């Protein structure tokens, strides 16, 4: 019988404060704090950081936390939903976050946690997002912010923001992918029983739930398209596969994903290329052919346009240099 593995990877601090949003706090705990022996010893080391003295109440539950070590030791700091869009943020917390960020820590907010990052002046010169219901209120309180209301999350490098509650899962999985690779993110997603990457942005949720037309969901079609990236079908074939007219299909597709079929395919090709680059085995010509690019140069151009770096740089950053931990099958 093997002993329990003690993680030695990045240190994660999850902030807690009175009026904490329980769901976002739980998301961060689930992804970063849950024991995951299948990930090996390099997985996250996680602690709850009480950002203020006194009892912490969330969703009718009260808890008393000891003062955690200073944020100066954290590599990643998670700011769950703040207690109110108009609620003040303690100056001491803002100073602590600026110090941590200044020495290299990544700071991420979930949903209304953007208020804390904005008050700490960590979003100046960066794009950010939050729940669509809060966009206007946040813009009024912080008029200089660049807000992207249609995004599920925004990765600005060392500062990251997520939209509504469930988008916090998307951002946490994105962090896992950045740190440990696609296989690790997929493993965590399976445990959560969620997709490792959701299609579209907040636009699909603002006026109505995921659109349906004649009772036909798009998920089977998207899986069908992913399996045909090397030679994607024409628009008329997509519409026929979905059982719709071309016009209805285009409208339904955009309402569901927030993109045209062509835009979605372009993004799907890039994601597939990223996965193959991270695997570290295939050549660029092979990746281009498998992902539907006419040739290697087309892959390079598209990668620079959509990702901002050449494929070779992505491979160096995210493939074997990362040395992802071993992952065993997850059955629960």
Residue numbers annotated as active site:
111
Residue 264: both structure tokens together: 């979605």
Q: What is d(CA 107, CA 285) in angstroms, rounded to the nearest whole number?
A: 37
Question: Which residues have C-beta within 8 Å of that of residue 252, sequence separation ≥ 6?
Answer: 211, 212, 213, 216, 218, 242, 244
The answer to whether the Cα torsion of 27, 29, 32, 38 is positive or negative is: negative
CA neighbor of 70 nearest in space, from 95, 49, 91, 94: 49
| Burial category of 82 from C-beta neighbours within 10 Å (exposed 0-12, middle 13-18, buried 19 and up) | buried
Cα three-residue angle 210-134-193, rounded to 5 degrees: 40
| Beta-ladder partners of 159 | 107
CA neighbor of 83 nearest in space, from 130, 140, 22: 22
Residue with tokens 């992207």: 148
Q: Are 198 and 171 in contact (CB under 8 A)?
A: no
Q: What is d(CA 113, CA 109) in angstroms, rounded to the nearest whole number?
A: 5
Using only the alpha carbons of the chain, give its radius of gyration. 21
């Amino acid at each position: 019988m093997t002993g329990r593995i003690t993680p030695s990877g990045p240190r994660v601090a999850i902030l807690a404060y009175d009026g904490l949003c329980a769901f976002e706090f739980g998301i961060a705990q689930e992804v970063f704090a849950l024991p995951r022996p299948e990930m090996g010893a390099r997985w996250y080391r996680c602690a709850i950081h009480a950002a203020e003295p006194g009892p912490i109440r969330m969703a009718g539950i009260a808890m008393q936390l000891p003062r955690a070590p200073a944020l100066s030791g954290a590599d990643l700091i998670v700011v769950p939903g703040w207690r109110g869009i108009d609620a003040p943020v303690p100056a001491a917390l803002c100073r602590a976050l600026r110090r941590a960020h200044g020495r290299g820590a990544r700071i991420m907010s979930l949903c209304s946690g953007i208020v804390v990052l904005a008050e700490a002046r960590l979003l100046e010169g960066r794009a950010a997002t939050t729940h669509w219901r809060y966009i206007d209120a946040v813009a009024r309180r912080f008029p200089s912010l660049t807000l992207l209301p249609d995004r599920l999350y925004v990765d600005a490098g060392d500062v990251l923001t997520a939209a509504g509650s469930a988008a916090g899962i998307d951002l946490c999985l994105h962090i896992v992918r950045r740190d440990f690779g696609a296989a690790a993110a997929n493993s965590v997603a399976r445990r959560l029983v969620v997709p490792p990457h959701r299609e579209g942005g907040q636009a699909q949720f603002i006026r109505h739930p995921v659109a349906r037309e004649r009772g036909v969901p798009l998920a089977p079609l998207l899986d069908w398209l992913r399996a045909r990236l090397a030679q994607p079908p024409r628009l008329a074939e997509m519409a026929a596969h979905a059982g719709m007219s071309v016009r209805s299909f285009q409208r339904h597709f955009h309402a569901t994903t927030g993109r045209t079929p062509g835009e979605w395919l372009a993004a799907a090709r890039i994601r597939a290329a990223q996965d193959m680059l991270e695997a570290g085995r295939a050549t660029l010509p092979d990746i281009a052919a498998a992902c539907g690019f006419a040739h290697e140069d087309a892959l390079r151009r598209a990668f620079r346009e959509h990702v901002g770096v050449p494929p070779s740089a992505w491979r160096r950053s995210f493939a074997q240099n990362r040395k992802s931990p071993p992952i065993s099958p997850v059955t629960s």
